[in-house]
Chains A and B, each alone.
Chain A
Amino acid sequence: MIRAELNKRSPLRVFEKSIHGGLGKGNIGVIASRHGIGKTACLVHMATDKLFRDEHVIHISFSQNVNHVIAWYEDIFKEISTKRELEAAMDVHDNIIKNRVIMNFSQDNISVEQIIRSLKTMIEDGGFKADSIFFDGYKMTTVEHDAVERLKEFAKNMDVELWFSVSPVLDGVDFDEYGVPETLANIEDVVDVLIGMKYDGEEIVMTVVKDHGEANPSQMAIKLDPKTMLISRL
């Protein structure tokens, strides 16, 4: 399969359809669930899909080193290219990797100002015109409302879309029927798209809980395949 065909058939097209054609620049999207459901895989697949379409992506992690993030991207790329029998896979790989930057913040309690400052530096001084930024594991449930607002302002100013994967920081948090932790309620009004992920005993169900202001939860026609860790059609 060639790259264009692969893009056309990507399950992410279904994903976008379920949220009115995509998140859109200047907006904030959140994927929420319990720990260990597969949010990182989901995020990396979404980012890889953007890369396949020649978009520029920044991936932000908050762990100790970036190697495991790179490994995630390699695995997801390999799964996709094998599954779809992608032609000239190595060339495609080398081409799209140029459009990805991984930024890692290993300091505890890093402020939102610091993150925004570094991102601006990367985009302006680093000459990296990002289309979307993926925050893997940002502590959305404990940050101030104001911090998320500032992130949104940044997204608007820089003309990027921001995706976050979110799990509760504290133990003993309740989750709703879609897998969204209740501690997210504080900032829900700033979030444009909210997707909940939940294991229902058989598969990982993905639900659009909020879609650009509309709060009318509906199950998506895609799921996360726990074997390949890829998003796939139902």
Chain B
Amino acid sequence: MAEFTNMRNIGISAHIDSGKTTLSERILYYCNRIHSIHEVRGKDGVGATMDSMELEKERGITIASAATNVTWKGVDINIIDTPGHVDFTIEVERSLRVLDGAILVLCSVGGVQSQSITVDRQMKRYNVPRVAFINKCDRTGADPFKVTSQLRDKLGHNAVMMQIPIGLEDRLEGVVDLITMKAVYFDGPSGDDVRYEEIPAELQDLAEEKREVMLDAISMFSDELMEAMLEGEISEEMIHEAVRIGTLSLDLTPVYMGSAYKNKGVQSLMDAVLKYLPNPTEVENIALDLDADEAEIKVSAGNEKKTVSLAFKLEDGQYGQLTYIRIYQGKIKKGDELYNTRSRKKFKVGRLIKMHASSMEDILEAGSGDIAALFGVDCASGDTFCHPSLNYSMTSMFVPNPVITLAIDPIDKKAADSMAKALNRFTKEDPTFRTYVDPESNQTIVQGMGELHLEVYIERMKREYGAEVETGQPQVAYREAISKRAEFNYTHKKQTGGSGQYARVAGFIEPNEEENYEFVNKIKGGSIPNEYIPSCDKGFQSAMVKGTLIGFPIVNVRASINDGQYHAVDSSDQAFQTASLNAFRDAYTRAKPIILEPIMKVNVEGPTEFQGNIFASINQRRGIIISSAEDGMFCTVEADVPLSEMFGYSTILRSLTQGKAEYTMEVNKYGKVPQSVSEELKKAYEDKRKAESSKK
């Protein structure tokens, strides 16, 4: 087991196509974990090593976070590769949970783009310190100075250049290190040989100027350095220490640069990871004590302590289910007994392994702060494994509700079996991906965060499980709600032989902004006996499962009961449930029900010349433009657009802008559907019901 100070858990997080996978590949290569370099969309068809899934190879994107272990200058580094598309943010968020630090990769041409903003916001939420790497400095239009100022202005980072480039675009030769004031070149066919030289004369002035800027910025974090600056005796150690303090407190982002593709600058970045990103003892982690009303407990690295670990990623490997875990406290040994605090089951640790990009290594134990993987453990992503005497759960991660549904039909019996297997796996891996069988149509429904999110799972089903399915039209997850208060007074009476049924409930329902549902009991004098109060609550809840407008769940209701009646013989739990259900439905039509739809926060970015097309495309989609920002050749448009209007938008946007614009979206809120759309939806629901009843 490595010493804590010799351990780093880092992520590489970035915008799609900023060269993150290529960078990961180079890091693996320089750390001697792989012996040759493959490109993401390489000619040799092998693909980069971190992209473990076929689909990712084909699309040139990274979907799943594979953890891989490397050693750089004697320090053990676990690298979590994170997905780049916003539709997979749950994966990003889950990875961020287990990271102690991150490399923020930016494209030197594209700069800070909308995805960088989303990912950055998530990193802030999880307090992840980061160093920035401005990649692709060999590309036409590369401008690391501009990207650094974007980091400051757009993301609000105190970004400080630690290097300046020697040449740019096709003349990129290396970098100048502003701490040692040396030029750094990366020689050899794969840039293995790092050569230090004097700074080229023409860059001397710029280097000195930028060093001053850097020293000014970091002197804030160290009195010692500030004093030394006054006396003119600055040591490299002092600078490192100040940068480290600033980085760890998230008050500073040191900026590195180069071109992973051209094998330039990667080694310097790795040195920065070692110097400035935290080791596991320097990060505070909180667990919830399930035995003490979820009281917060600090967990800290220490191999002698009782084990607390989090399963953050599941993968279906060749030999069964592989569970990636991060150990927060204590250690895990082969043969240990652990307790899964969600399923409340104990299990024995069988094979314990360390993952490298495409190979694995059996290990006997893993200590605090480390990332390892277990074989054959039945669990779900996000489960906490503890020492059997503890009942902790690592803070629950925010899991958004899915906003889109899709009906899927396996093409044959064999596909149906494989589909079931695949769905079982995916839902365990990804809490935002859900599935159920619609009792009415008997169809399998999958739910997720966006079109692409579902598309990827459909393709994975086909590729990894051989399950071919036919898909329906994606459906938006609408909600119903009421807009005014309505009273009810309903009597349920049935006397048809045998014991009768009798219950009367009275009260009102009203809109409730704060909660999805609240039940208020205002019964005085026992007009409904206490034993039947929960029956009323249940009855209301069952009425809310499906609204009568368009058959979607009802939200934001407070249901209060204030009167009622019972019968000594004929009243029952069932009678009160039925009465409440009908009372609710009766009042619902009078409470002016409305339809709500998910409104997405959409961020479109593209060249200014296409601004008109972008505006028009949002305008046509019932979108509201919130802002539009222009920065030279690029513009960013932020808008609120209903999800139902966003289907197929990526294709349309591509054709409108010659493929030069892209967009991201996330759920913003639920908003009222306009009258015309509401009428259409109601009519469609009506038609569907008629069709179904005529079938019967």
Residues of A participating in the B interface, judged by any CB pair closer than 8 Å: 64-66, 69-70, 97-98, 101-107, 110, 114, 118, 121-122, 124-128
Contacts and interface: CB of A to CB of B under 8 A. Distances in A.
B154 interface: yes
A14 B153 CA distance: 39
Given A64-B154, A98-B624, A122 B615 contact: yes
A110 B635 CA distance: 14
Contacts of A103: 627-630
A114 B616 CA distance: 18
A122 B628 contact: yes
Interface of B: 153-154, 608, 611-613, 615-616, 618-619, 624-632, 635, 638
Nearest to B619: A127
Nearest to B638: A66
Given A106-B153, A107-B632, A66 B627 contact: yes
Given A64-B153, A106-B630, A126-B615, 19 more contacts: A65-B154, A97-B624, A101-B626, A101-B627, A102-B627, A103-B627, A103-B628, A104-B627, A104-B628, A105-B630, A106-B631, A118-B635, A122-B628, A125-B615, A125-B619, A126-B612, A126-B616, A126-B619, A128-B625
6 contacts: A101-B628, A114-B630, A118-B611, A118-B630, A125-B612, A125-B619
B526 to A, nearest CB: 38
Contacts of B154: 64-65
A74 to B, nearest CB: 12
Nearest to B632: A107
A64 B613 CA distance: 24
A66 B630 CA distance: 11
A85 B227 CA distance: 55
Contacts of A105: 629-630
A87 to B, nearest CB: 15
A66 B625 contact: no
Contacts of B612: 121, 124-126
A102 B154 CA distance: 16
Contacts of A122: 615, 625, 628
- For the complex of A and B, 4 pairs with smallest distance between CB atoms: A126-B615, A64-B153, A125-B612, A104-B629
A121 B625 CA distance: 13
Contacts of B627: 66, 69-70, 101-104
A90 to B, nearest CB: 8
Contacts of B630: 103-107, 110, 114, 118
A113 B29 CA distance: 51
A136 to B, nearest CB: 13
Given A65-B154, A127-B619, A121 B611 contact: yes
Contacts of B619: 125-128
A174 to B, nearest CB: 32
B637 to A, nearest CB: 9
Contact of B625 (A104, A124, A126): A126
A101 B619 CA distance: 13
- Scoring A64, A97, A98 by chain B CB atoms within 10 A of each residue's CB, the highest score goes to A64
B614 to A, nearest CB: 8
B632 A65 contact: no
A173 to B, nearest CB: 27
A65 B328 CA distance: 38
Nearest to A123: B615
Nearest to B628: A103
Contacts of A128: 615, 619, 625
Contacts of A98: 624
